[in-house]
Amino acid sequence: MLGEIFSLRKLLIPIVLTGLTIIVYLTLTSWGSNAPVVISGIDMSHMVTSDNLSKAFSVLALFTAALIFMMAHDYYKNEPQHLSDYISILLFALVGALVLFSYANMAMLFLGIEILSISMYIMAGSRKYDTRSNEAGFKYFLMGAFASGFLLFGIALLYGATGSFELVKIGQYMQAGQAGPLFYTGIMLLLVALLFKVSAVPFHFWSPDVYEGAPALITAVMSTLVKTAVFGAFIRLVIECHLYMHMPVEIMLTLLAGATMAVGNLSALAQENFKRILAYSGISHAGYMMLTLLSVNAGSQSALLFYAASYSIASIGVFALAIPVFYFMKNEQVSAFNGLGKKNPWMAGLLTMLMLALAGIPPMSGFLAKYYIFSKSFQAGFFALTLFAVINSIVGVYYYFKVILAMYTKPADDTAVEPTPLFWSVIITCSILTLVLGLYPGGLLNLI
């Protein structure tokens, strides 16, 4: 904002990227240290925590945000007067994500979700003169407000049952075997709110409409940063409160994980709009990631981190390729990619790589990401659900290949498609990382 005041628009993105790099450096230098969080001499450990789980997810979120900001410079080139506004709001969303990775208190969970969500409501409807963007922002806001109501009501009931907002004390109450109807009602309401945020079935209806109507760059943020943030919060809740030990929670998550995978994949088969395909793809990926919540006793945190990293990097790469295609073709359907293999072979080749990563085809990182999640689920005893997930993964290959076939088998028109240098840098970075993680996964898997 200061950069905007002093007419330093060209320096806005470099300033933000420099800041993010410094934060990543400071996070990595404190790696392995679980010292209490002290702010102005006050011990804040009862509010926020700083462990390797929060640091690993924070670095992933910061890296994801850096890639988004690199694309933002060119994406908003026709709206230079609004660039500082958009960048500031996206930074607020990033702050909300970082809070969600580190919360130790239900009040901080609520703050993190609201900072993240309100920022995204604004950005989803940020194209004031586009009816679809207005509709997306309004739908997201109304549905999100209901989810926030469930979250608050659930937190209030948990406080009524346990007498504390702190995760550690709620976990101790759970382990003591004192949980009653009030406690379980609170937990169920809390789970409903979080399942809405990750667009799990049956709380997924907002997702395709919002993904389609929101600006493409904001759809990229919602499908990567927001999903990673909520799953980071979700797994902390499950671990700290020992939810995996209780049958009602396990049954609910098992049924919803299966439904989420099936509905996401089967609905995507019938879609022709590229952003709607990615929306339903995101729903199915949420179903796969829910397996890690059921298998935390098998140590699934590292599998979730690897999956979130693989999915986020591949998705941002796909959006970095799709946004120039949408811009030049004036079309967001799968047909916009017709003949891209002839018009721009490099773009088509890299998009094929990234779509294969999302589909889980070796040697791309998506294959190992699914393998690790499925193996942890299998170790935890969820044999039928794991088999169901494998079948769903095979079904999902079809709609990813729909785009690949359009690029190589459909006739091309005369419209040239050429990404800007910044978009190319994001595309190449994501493509290389997706391949590297698929060949050398150990560095990321051993972090937590």
Residue 375, burial from CB neighbour count under 10 angstroms (0-12, 13-18, 19+): middle
Do residues 193 and 285 lie in contact, with contact meaning Cβ atoms separated by under 8 Å?
no
Tokens, residue 92: 């607020």
Nearest-angstrom CA–CA distance, 23 and 60: 12
Helices 131-162 and 206-213, packing angle to 10 deg: 140
Phi, psi of 79 (to 5 degrees): -130, 55
Tokens, residue 20: 């993010």
Give the per-residue pLDDT at 42.
79
Give the per-residue pLDDT at 414.
79
Peptide bond into 421 cis (omega under 30): no
Closest by alpha carbon to 373, among 357, 390, 358?
390
Q: What is the mean pLDDT of each successive set of 10 residues along the chain, which is 448 residues long? A: 72 89 90 76 82 90 93 83 86 94 92 93 85 88 90 93 88 80 89 91 88 90 93 90 78 92 91 90 93 85 92 94 89 87 89 91 89 91 91 90 89 82 92 90 76
Nearest-angstrom CA–CA distance, 73 and 315: 19
Phi, psi of 60 (to 5 degrees): -60, -45
Nearest-angstrom CA–CA distance, 68 and 85: 15
Nearest-angstrom CA–CA distance, 155 and 384: 33
Nearest-angstrom CA–CA distance, 64 and 58: 10
Taking every pair of Cα atoms in the chain, the longest distance, rounded to a whole number of angstroms, is 69
Nearest-angstrom CA–CA distance, 259 and 385: 10
C-beta neighbour count of 58 within 10 angstroms: 23
Do residues 400 and 283 lie in contact, with contact meaning Cβ atoms separated by under 8 Å?
no
Phi, psi of 43 (to 5 degrees): -75, 115
Q: How far apart are the first and last CA of the chain?
A: 36
Give the per-residue pLDDT at 46.
82
Closest by alpha carbon to 193, among 243, 150, 226?
150
Closest by alpha carbon to 347, among 287, 295, 407, 401?
407
Helices 227-240 and 83-102, packing angle to 10 deg: 20
Nearest-angstrom CA–CA distance, 112 and 100: 5
